Amino acid sequence: MSLTLLVENNPKIVEIYQLNLKTYVGLDVLVVKGLKEASLVVDKQPFALIICRAKIGNDEVAVPLSEVMASKQINIPLFVIGHGLYPSLVHGVLPGSLDLKGVVKGAASALGVTAQSMVNMKVEDYFPIPAEHFKWINYPICPILRKSDKGEMEVIFKANEMLDRSKIQGSSLLFVDKLDRLQMVNQITAELVGRLEDKDLNPDEQIQAGVSNLEMLSKKLLSIGINEETIGLAKKGMDSFAGNVKRYPKLGNLLQRMLSNKAGYLYRHTQIVTYVALHIVRNIDWGTPEQEEKIAFISFFHDIALENDTQAKICSKEELRSAQFDPREKAVVEKHAQVAAEIVHKYPHAPMGSDQIIRQHHGMLNGVGFSDHFGANLSPMAIVFIVAEEFTRIIIAKENGPFNGRDMTRELRQTFTTSRFQKIIDLLEQITF
Ligand SMILES: [Fe+2]
Ligand SMILES: [Fe+2]
């Protein structure tokens, strides 16, 4: 097994890397906290790769470490993560530490491991995972097994069953079916990412964490529903989206930030809808702090039942018909408004009427399917949301610019011709451009 030296001081990120590098690339990892410790061990073991932070706290790490390596004539690939100075001789760099695909790919390529050999990596029928990682999990996504004293595998937790930690005390290793291993590792990773605090992350990493948290919440709401855990995650998520709106008072800056980060469509869509809708409510004559809270709530939850970016891009009957979905996925897209409304209906103290607006956000009263026109009896808030969502679609379609405000609102005016909609578009025009 190739031994990798990891220089990182955040214990949760350490755990994430150890687990992912082991599972995807088969690497064993030795961890040190900083430059001093790294310089002491770098020539003591046959490392095949060094992964290090560009900077830890205020101290540059990668550049001085590369100088130590040069002085000791150590020639090992160095992979640098995070913002800071990069040495001239590196195998690769990655600005955001939570781009795990990038970390796995970078480590693999430094070691000459191909994607094919990762796929073909020999795995036992039951995949071992150190028991300590399960302290982050409340409801495992797949069955968890333990090896009995006689050496037989026994299931100790079923999928989605509350994980009672007292049952795993004394076990150092737990197991999952080899076919479940990537799912399980991804779940543990998502849980760890969800517990990282913004202050520990650079702006790139905050977006990556936001994407991961939204995906995790969506999966949990659909599997375990509303409980203390999912409510906590939802609050954190809503705070983060609304916080970004405050932090980036100009739409252009917010877009720039997400573009440079390659955040996925569904995340960007949710963030930009929140931005546009909040912007309208803040400037409309009936806007109040309660209405702002309500529109942010609706924006956050409306597409929560969707599973991926491809599904999120569908917004008409025709697009759904021509999409290459199997029947299950087609049903997910068709019913996503209804499912999200049901979830929100159970959410304690949800703003009044938000479930109804979510159910009707594609123009169908029952939340199933897509309609080309919106009924006359819509509430003012529903109209704001529908306009915000369509405007978001136009923005994302043109996200590389150039932005021509008049063209964009002209498109909106052609879609929504009634005067109630036109009034909102007038307002949007005044405040955006
Ligand atoms: Fe949407
Ligand atoms: Fe939707």
Considering the domain architecture, whether residues 263 and 326 belong to the same structural domain is answered as yes
CA-based max dimension of the chain: 76
Confidence of residue 277 (pLDDT cuts 50, 70, 90): very high
Considering the domain architecture, whether residues 164 and 71 belong to the same structural domain is answered as no
Q: How far is the CA of 102 from the centre of ligand 1 (A)?
A: 28
pLDDT of residue 406: 80
- Under the phi-then-psi rule, with left for phi > 0, alpha for psi from -120 to 50, and beta for the rest, what region is 129? beta
Considering the domain architecture, whether residues 281 and 401 belong to the same structural domain is answered as yes
Which ligand approaches the C-alpha of residue 333 most closely? Answer: 2
CB proximity list for 93: less than 8 A, separation 6 or greater = 54, 79, 80, 81, 86
**Is 29 a domain residue?**
yes
Q: How far is the CA of 225 from the centre of ligand 2 (A)?
A: 19
Instruction: Indicate if the pLDDT at residue 198 is higher than 90.
Output: no
Amino acid letter, 37: E
- Report how far residue 119's alpha carbon sits from residue 128's, in angstroms, rounded to the nearest whole number: 17
CB proximity list for 402: less than 8 A, separation 6 or greater = none
Q: How far is the CA of 336 from the centre of ligand 2 (A)?
A: 7
pLDDT of residue 72: 93
Give the domain CATH number at 22: 3.40.50.2300
**CA 29 vs CA 16, 19, 75, 255, 266: distances in Å:** 11, 9, 18, 37, 34
Mean pLDDT of 354-374: 91
pLDDT of residue 245: 87
Q: Are strands 144-147 and 153-157 parallel, antiparallel or unpaired?
A: antiparallel
Considering the domain architecture, whether residues 102 and 143 belong to the same structural domain is answered as no
The phi and psi torsions of 286 (rounded to 5 degrees) equal -90, 5
Which ligand approaches the C-alpha of residue 363 most closely? Answer: 2
Considering the domain architecture, whether residues 275 and 406 belong to the same structural domain is answered as yes
Which ligand approaches the C-alpha of residue 277 most closely? Answer: 1
Instruction: Indicate if the pLDDT at residue 181 is higher than 60.
Output: yes
What value does the mean pLDDT of the chain take?
A: 91
Confidence of residue 341 (pLDDT cuts 50, 70, 90): very high
Q: How far is the CA of 91 from the centre of ligand 2 (A)?
A: 42
- Report how far residue 251's alpha carbon sits from residue 229's, in angstroms, rounded to the nearest whole number: 32
Length of the chain: 433
Considering the domain architecture, whether residues 287 and 183 belong to the same structural domain is answered as no
Considering the domain architecture, whether residues 340 and 277 belong to the same structural domain is answered as yes
Considering the domain architecture, whether residues 144 and 80 belong to the same structural domain is answered as no
Q: How far apart are the first and last CA of the chain?
A: 58
**Is 220 a domain residue?**
no
Q: How far is the CA of 386 from the centre of ligand 2 (A)?
A: 10
- Report how far residue 407's alpha carbon sits from residue 181's, in angstroms, rounded to the nearest whole number: 49
Residue whose tokens read 């020539």: 43
pLDDT of residue 405: 75
Q: Are strands 78-81 and 49-53 parallel, antiparallel or unpaired?
A: parallel
Token code pair at residue 109: 């390529």
**Is 262 a domain residue?**
yes
pLDDT of residue 313: 95
Confirm if 412 and 394 have CB atoms less than 8 A apart. yes
pLDDT of residue 70: 94
Confidence of residue 1 (pLDDT cuts 50, 70, 90): low
**Is 202 a domain residue?**
no
**Is 207 a domain residue?**
no
Instruction: Indicate if the pLDDT at residue 120 is higher than 70.
Output: yes
Considering the domain architecture, whether residues 380 and 305 belong to the same structural domain is answered as yes
Confidence of residue 243 (pLDDT cuts 50, 70, 90): confident
**Is 39 a domain residue?**
yes
Considering the domain architecture, whether residues 171 and 272 belong to the same structural domain is answered as no
3-state secondary structure of 94: strand
Q: How far is the CA of 389 from the centre of ligand 1 (A)?
A: 6
Mean pLDDT of 330-337: 97
Confidence of residue 88 (pLDDT cuts 50, 70, 90): confident
Q: Domain span at residue 301? A: 239-432
Considering the domain architecture, whether residues 142 and 258 belong to the same structural domain is answered as no
Token code pair at residue 10: 């955040």
Confirm if 188 and 133 have CB atoms less than 8 A apart. yes
| Count of the separate structural domains present in the chain | 3
The candidate with the shortest Cα–Cα distance to 98, out of 200, 25, 168, 184, is 200
Half-sphere exposure of 310 (CA within 13 A, CB side): 9
Q: How far is the CA of 344 from the centre of ligand 2 (A)?
A: 14
Q: How far is the CA of 286 from the centre of ligand 2 (A)?
A: 25
Q: How far is the CA of 411 from the centre of ligand 2 (A)?
A: 20
Instruction: Indicate if the pLDDT at residue 433 is higher than 90.
Output: no
**Is 201 a domain residue?**
no
pLDDT of residue 387: 94
Least confident of 46-50, 116-120, 215-219: 116-120
Residue whose tokens read 């704001």: 384
Give the domain CATH number at 364: 1.10.3210.10
**Is 233 a domain residue?**
no
Confirm if 339 and 221 have CB atoms less than 8 A apart. no
Q: How far is the CA of 315 from the centre of ligand 2 (A)?
A: 7
Q: How far is the CA of 280 from the centre of ligand 1 (A)?
A: 17
Q: What angle do CA 383, 387, 392 make, to 5 degrees?
A: 150
Q: How far is the CA of 369 from the centre of ligand 2 (A)?
A: 10
Of the chain, the percentage scoring pLDDT greater than 90 comes to: 67
Confirm if 363 and 373 have CB atoms less than 8 A apart. yes
Amino acid letter, 246: K
Secondary structure (H, E, C), 143-209: CEEEECCCCCEEEEECCCCCCCHHHHCCCCEEEEEHHHHHHHHHHHHHHHHHCCCHHHCCHHHHHHH
Confidence of residue 76 (pLDDT cuts 50, 70, 90): very high
Confidence of residue 118 (pLDDT cuts 50, 70, 90): confident
**CA 378 vs CA 122, 189, 364, 374, 421: distances in Å:** 58, 42, 11, 8, 10
Considering the domain architecture, whether residues 115 and 136 belong to the same structural domain is answered as no
Q: Where does a domain end: 170, 187, 204?
A: 187
Of the chain, the percentage scoring pLDDT greater than 70 comes to: 98
Mean pLDDT of 212-220: 92
Token code pair at residue 88: 């001239």
Instruction: Indicate if the pLDDT at residue 357 is higher than 80.
Output: yes
Least confident of 56-70, 319-333, 339-353, 397-411: 397-411
